């Protein structure tokens, strides 16, 4: 056995997967064999969610059934609404999502059944209910009345409706749908690996997704889309951008929304999301963030050869859509639940307890009785 340490599991292949393929050498990403860009162009988010969970795109009957199940499961229990009402208003919505999924696990009648069929049903319930829980908190914390989910609306339309009380124009909904498709799945990233690690002890899906949400919150992972917005707010206007980024590089700061563990010459999801960011900025008649975006990107590529990741365009896009900054990563959650669930089921199907080794570098062997004050 080699003693070589691979910190951060850098370059280590730990298992096989059929869910998605990240191909950094050609800047490409496929879900179950379909290019993410194609899925963005031709599909709605519900179809992609079905694909990720069920391995194939749905026919019209399968899609109708899936959408009906998703809509039928959106409502929360009275208890969960009450718990959300009682949460501290200053809670980070990622912590609200984490707690809400954990409580769904307490309430789910199939929590201890981890068969494929039960996991599929539970995945769908978590997928349907989490947006409702988040939107309820969105309203409550600003003193507004909760808006209950509406079955006549699509997944994305319903989320806007529950947060803002109205559905925006279809181009905005499409841009949101595209962001959900691009966030849905990305192989063995840290939150997915967390979900698989929890599953590997044969723990349940609610626990695995609760852990994955905690993992996604971190600024080196999903939390980066919020950090991008904080950065853009600090820069404020395009005329400040060049000075700001040069200063950041001089100070050796980590610039959020740039760099990636796997993609080293560009994130395959960025061009599509950049295009939709532009569309939203045009509709909202606000080009400020687009201009800042371009200046910072140009300098990062020229001076550091570090390219943006998908969190760079999603941050300002969600801002222009009207979401509070701390809701950006929770939006990532409502999409990634599909990818996590698929990986959890895949892990269950061919499980091996995940248990790496560590090289000990602590104190030498000591004896309690050798302490002179005893
Ligand atoms: N800003 C400035 N420098 C960066 C950078 C960034 N966003 N990302 C990487 N680098 C630099 C590192 O400082 C390092 O430089 P060095 O060799 O001089 O020390 C080099 O690029 C390699 O980076 P490293 O941190 O080893 O890469 P990694 O694969 O471990 O990390 C990330 C990948 C994503 C954690 C890292 O790029 C990062 O922190 N990005 C910002 C957070 C973010 O956007 N996360 C979302 C990811 S989808």
Out of 260, 319, 343, 348, pick the active-site residue.
Answer: 260
- Domain-located, residue 343: yes
Shared-domain flag, residues 47 and 189: yes
Q: What is the CATH number of the domain that holds 288?
A: 1.10.230.10
Query: Tell me, what's the pLDDT at 196?
Result: 98
Shared-domain flag, residues 156 and 241: no
Residue owning the nearest CA to atom 28 of ligand 1: 261
Shared-domain flag, residues 112 and 243: no
Q: What is the pLDDT of residues 278-289, one digit of tens each?
A: 999 999 999 999
- Domain-located, residue 150: yes
Catalytic residue at 311? yes
- Domain-located, residue 1: no
Report the share of the chain in percent with pLDDT over 90: 94
Which distant-in-sequence residues (6+ apart) come within 8 Å of 167 by Cβ? Answer: 153, 157, 160, 161, 173
pTM of the model: 0.95
Shared-domain flag, residues 271 and 204: no
pLDDT at 2 over 90: no
Number of domains in the chain: 2
CB of 204 sitting under 6 A from ligand 1: no
Nearest-atom index, ligand 1, CA of 261:
29
CB of 255 sitting under 6 A from ligand 1: yes
CB of 306 sitting under 6 A from ligand 1: yes
Phi, psi of 113 (to 5 degrees): -100, 110
Query: Tell me, what's the pLDDT at 371?
Result: 83
pLDDT at 1 over 80: no
Mean pLDDT, rounded, for 117-123: 98
Query: Tell me, what's the pLDDT at 359?
Result: 93
Shared-domain flag, residues 256 and 150: no
- Domain-located, residue 9: no
Q: What is the pLDDT of residues 184-230, one digit of tens each?
A: 999 999 999 999 999 999 999 999 999 999 999 999 999 999 999 99
Report the share of the chain in percent with pLDDT over 70: 99
- Domain-located, residue 100: yes
Shared-domain flag, residues 258 and 154: no
Range of the domain at 282: 224-321
Shared-domain flag, residues 109 and 94: yes
Q: What is the pLDDT of residues 85-106, one digit of tens each?
A: 999 999 999 999 999 999 999 9
Shared-domain flag, residues 295 and 252: yes
Shared-domain flag, residues 41 and 120: yes
């Amino acid at each position: 056995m080699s003693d070589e340490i691979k910190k951060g599991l850098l370059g280590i292949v730990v298992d096989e997967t059929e869910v998605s393929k990240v191909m950094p050498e050609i800047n490409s990403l496929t879900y179950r064999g379909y290019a993410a860009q194609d899925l963005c162009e031709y599909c709605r988010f519900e179809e992609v969610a079905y694909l990720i969970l069920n391995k194939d795109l749905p026919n019209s009957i399968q899609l109708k059934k899936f959408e009906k199940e998703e809509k039928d499961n959106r409502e929360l229990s009275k208890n969960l609404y009450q718990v959300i009402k009682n949460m501290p208003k200053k809670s980070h919505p990622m912590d609200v999502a984490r707690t809400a999924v954990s409580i769904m696990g307490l309430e789910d009648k199939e929590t201890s059944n981890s068969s494929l069929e039960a996991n599929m049903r539970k995945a769908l319930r978590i997928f349907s209910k989490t947006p409702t829980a988040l939107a309820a908190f969105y309203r409550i914390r600003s003193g507004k009345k909760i808006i209950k989910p509406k079955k006549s609306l699509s997944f994305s339309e319903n989320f806007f409706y529950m947060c803002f009380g109205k559905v925006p124009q279809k181009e905005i909904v499409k841009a949101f749908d595209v962001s959900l498709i691009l966030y849905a799945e990305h192989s063995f990233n840290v939150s997915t690996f967390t979900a698989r690690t929890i599953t590997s002890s044969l723990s349940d899906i609610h626990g695995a997704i609760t852990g994955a949400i905690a993992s996604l919150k971190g600024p080196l992972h999903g939390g980066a889309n919020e950090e991008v917005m904080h950065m853009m707010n600090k820069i404020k206007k395009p005329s400040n951008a060049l000075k700001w980024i040069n200063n950041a590089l001089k100070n050796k700061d980590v610039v959020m929304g740039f760099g990636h563990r796997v993609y080293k010459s560009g994130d395959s999801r960025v061009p599509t999301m950049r295009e939709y960011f532009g569309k939203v900025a045009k509709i909202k008649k606000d080009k400020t963030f687009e201009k800042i975006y371009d200046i910072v990107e140009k300098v990062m590529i020229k001076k550091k050869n570090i390219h943006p990741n998908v969190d760079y365009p999603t941050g300002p896009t969600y801002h222009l859509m009207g979401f509070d900054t701390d809701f950006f990563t929770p939006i990532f959650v409502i999409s990634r639940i599909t990818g996590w669930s698929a990986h959890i089921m895949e892990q269950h199907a061919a499980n091996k307890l995940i248990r790496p080794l560590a090289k000990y570098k602590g104190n030498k062997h000591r004896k309690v009785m050798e302490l002179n004050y005893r």
